[in-house]
Structure 1
């Protein structure tokens, strides 16, 4: 690969095979391609099959054909993740993750080998930070290695400095220290309960922990780290990381505004628009606990459901059949659907950004997944936070404590319907609601400006692209005749501004 001159940078992109990782990867692929990169996007065969079936009920050959029709050089490939298509990756989660550690890289290796004669040559690997083998693959094929972190910089920094948490007894210690964590570079003092769930766990020898240990050693070997966040929101954390490695904040990468019609959903989507159109502005609470909410108990769902009914507000509730941590299908309380009396709409999945940007939506009861947080800020919808696992507890800290754009669902040891009712009313009406809305408007303006031509994320993105080219030249000794030729309707600042104006007219 190194011997051939490249006409343009050619990046292979490999997202982690979960919904929350696929969405920003697709949007970033479109953005890079609209700036003159050739992209080969790799999905697992299982993910490809699920997305295809969710859209059409049949397997499509290429999810990026529409993007190519618009002039983008995005190629598409699928690779086996090491398991048969019929294997239940959710039910057999630990076995699946073991495969991603030990087996998947061999299939990726083979695919990249088969791309050796591609035109232009492959020069860069952009892989999800949670893959443990990115640096090895990149080194073998002499590729620039970009680690794409799809969560906030705070979470990245905490994992990155796991050695400091161990040393100070806030992780991996039987003492279970409860004092403030105030020694992570660039990170303000925080409670141990604001750590990611895996860093609060008693058992730290699980397969997920082994992924964390290996992945966050591997990321330190990356040539570049990019984060789906905004510099102004996490300035000190990003600055501290950048002093160790080249780290760029290029967010918000918000799905729905930038993917050029590329299908990403792993489930069929219901259209909530007609129902929402019948409701007054800001009268509907959107409720969703994300794409991976298996840690929810039936009792918690019952209390939330009853609190919703007691609150008297309109709501759209996304409830997947596998939302609870058991095989029981009847996880809603008896009489709940009859009690909704036209106030509620229950769907298994929907286009989240399309729903929360609707003027009828006044609040979001969320698990605090990072994509959900960014989309909520973008749409200026304040949050009620109900974190379940992983980074969601740390994201809640940003939302509630740092940016003050949301509230906790539960301040007690367990969820009770009266508190659910109280918190919903607090968010949806009254003076307190206006305070949250004013706060999220300010944070939203920060995101909006970041993606304009003079904004921090757009500037960082341009530096990031030049850094890739410089690293390719250093590794492979090639130069580029490609210029930054942004296709006007894709990711151009004017298009982003038009989207902002359209949203603002609905939401103000």
Structure 2
């Protein structure tokens, strides 16, 4: 596509985000960072995601709002567009998940193809040279980039350790360790991972039944080997061996944590749910006295687990904020908490459907985080120096727990046995919130907090890696034939 005058052209990133909250947040942050480094960006949300974000901000059903308008007013060159997934806005994708996934895997790639093709045709005589940035799980990305002769950038929103396990899937299969099928065996042959037990593999490697979703995920990791660059939302010093080995396979850059420079004053809406502001309540609490509890935006938990956790929190006597998201126990919302629980804890507990997590974790009143170990939550907790009690539910959270508890030693397991019990919840909350018992945890998380913050300094590893990526991708894009 490049012409003899390509050196004068402007690199233009087309970014098509995933539709899951945990992927949206770093993807938007990456768009902002690319634009801040002189790139033109066209950022694309699915229409129903745009609708959810706009509604969560104001309750208004208007869909024509440009979420990047303030960013543009500040001088960033970000265009905004939406693309249909083929269903009307009112279609319930969670209740019709199989139908949605079937369409997403089989039909959505052609919609992306048409969308990208239209952008390319519209700008044939422009001064732009386009490249594609897509989530690694976007199994269609490599093929579309090759069709339009575009440079392709894969964005991995999870740890490098998880990337490596997916990347070496065939090796794990050859050695009989995938599917795990309930076995617990140490694996020490995956490049860049010194040792890991099969029980700590992501849930998609645990399952013996291959679904359409599995095939899409595993296919994406075959395709990722064809892309030009991989950006990873991790820090080199956190996962040094994994990052080092992956860099030998193809251009791989650890550029995390992808946080906005001004963490608590972000002008681009990112949340799919209305966010409750807990600041006023938290400011009445003593330093490090409040437990924050949240299990993320997607996974469901068994009702009996929520009941045991509630019983443990009640008996612990600790002050707490608990995010009880609608749908956390599936469709069975009745009796989600024990009878009378809200009345018994009303003086020391705040229960909300969703919140501004940055504001909560950054507040001096927070002393611990009972978490599902989603990667965004893990990075945020380390960034603010808040030690964790871990209760992973599915996908990468299981492997993230291993990193948090076993490798970095900044967290505790909520459950060391087969089932969560209120007695163990009391014990683990006590070990987390007691200054003396959690002294080593707090020392470790202070060390890793400094590692993350140093990585984002001007001369830090992530800033250097991002600067190198900017130079490399510009050179590749502007010399692409």
TM-score (norm 1): 0.91
The unaligned stretches of length 5 or more in structure 2 are: none
**Structure 1 gap segments, 5+ residues each:** 477-508
How far 1:369 sits from its partner (Å)? 0.2
Match of 1:46 in 2: 48
Query: 2:58 corresponds to which residue?
Result: 56
CA distance in 1, matches of 2:160, 2:364: 30
- Given that residues 180 and 205 in structure 2 are in contact (C-alpha distance below 8 angstroms), is that contact kept between their aligned partners in structure 1? no
Contact kept, 8 Å, 1:383 with 1:406, in 2: the verdict is: yes
CA distance in 1, matches of 2:128, 2:321: 47
Deviation at 1:177, TM superposition (A): 4.5
Choose the corresponding residue for 1:335, options 328, 332, 340.
340
Per-residue CA deviation, residues 68-91 of structure 1 (Å, 9 max, x unaligned), is 000000000000012221111112
1:264 is matched with which residue: 239, 246, 270?
A: 270
Deviation at 1:188, TM superposition (A): 1.1
The structural deviation recorded for 1:259 is: 8.1
Aligned match of 2:392: 387
Residue 131 in 1 paired to residue 138 in 2?
yes
Q: How many residues align?
A: 473
Aligned partner of 1:214 in structure 2 is: 219
Contact 1:109 1:137 in 2 (8 A): yes
Q: In 1, distance between residues paired with 2:363 and 2:282?
A: 7
Per the TM alignment, residue 142 of structure 1 is displaced from its structure 2 partner at its CA by: 1.4
1:5-20 correspondence runs (5 A)? 5=6, 7-20=9-22
Alignment pair present for 1:101 and 2:105: yes
Tell whether 2:378 aligns with 1:366.
Answer: no
TM-superposed CA distance for 1:305, in Å, is: 0.3
Q: Secondary structure at the match of 2:81?
A: strand
* Pick aligned residue for 2:406 from 401, 404, 412: 401
Contact persistence 1:305–1:333 (CA under 8 A): yes
CA distance in 2, matches of 1:147, 1:106: 19
Contact 1:54-1:265 at 8 Å conserved across structures:
yes
Match of residue 453 from structure 2: 448
Distance 1:251 1:100 in 2: 28
**How far apart, CA to CA, are the structure 1 residues paired with 2:212 and 2:334?**
28
Contact 1:64–1:75 (Cα < 8 Å) also in 2: yes
State the Cα deviation string for residues 339-388 of structure 1 (Å, max 9, x = none): 10411000001111111110000000000000000000001000000000
Is 2:14–2:133's contact at 8 Å kept on the other side of the alignment? yes
Distance across 2 between alignment mates of 1:128 and 1:274: 37
**SS across alignment from 2:320:** strand
2:78 to 70, 74, 77: 74
| CA shift in 2, pair 1:92/1:110, >3 Å | same
- Pairwise CA RMSD of aligned residues? 1.5
Indicate the residue corresponding to 2:203 in structure 1.
197
CA displacement, residues 411-451 of structure 1 (integer Å, 9 cap, x when unaligned): 11101001001100100013221211110000010000001
On the 8 A contact 2:264/2:358 being kept in 1, the answer is: no
Q: Deviations over 1:223-251 (max 9, x none)?
A: 00010000011111011111011100000
Is the 8 Å Cα contact of residues 101 and 131 (structure 1) preserved in structure 2? Answer: no
Counterparts of 1:93 and 1:120, CA distance in 2 = 42
Q: Which structure 2 residues correspond to residues 287-436 of structure 1 after superposition, within 5 A? A: 287-294=293-300, 296-436=301-441
- What's the CA shift string for 1:45-72, capped at 9, x where partnerless? 0000000000012224200000000000
Deviations 1:225-281 (A, max 9, x none): 010000011111011111011100000113672884100100011110110011111
Match of 2:157 in 1: 150
Normalising by structure 2, report the TM-score: 0.96
CA contact (8 A) 2:361 2:384 kept: yes
Q: Is the 8 A contact 1:161 1:184 kept in 2?
A: yes
* In structure 1, C-alpha distance between the alignment counterparts of 2:305 and 2:370, rounded to whole Å: 14
State which drifts further: 38-47 or 133-142: 133-142
Q: Shift of the alpha carbon at 1:120?
A: 4.0
1:459 matched to 2:454? The reply is no
| 2-structure distance, mates of 1:207, 1:279 | 48
Asked whether the 8 Å contact 1:67–1:260 carries over to 2, the reply is no
Distance across 2 between alignment mates of 1:69 and 1:470: 28
Q: Secondary structure at the match of 1:365?
A: strand
- Determine the structure 1 residue equivalent to 2:233: 228
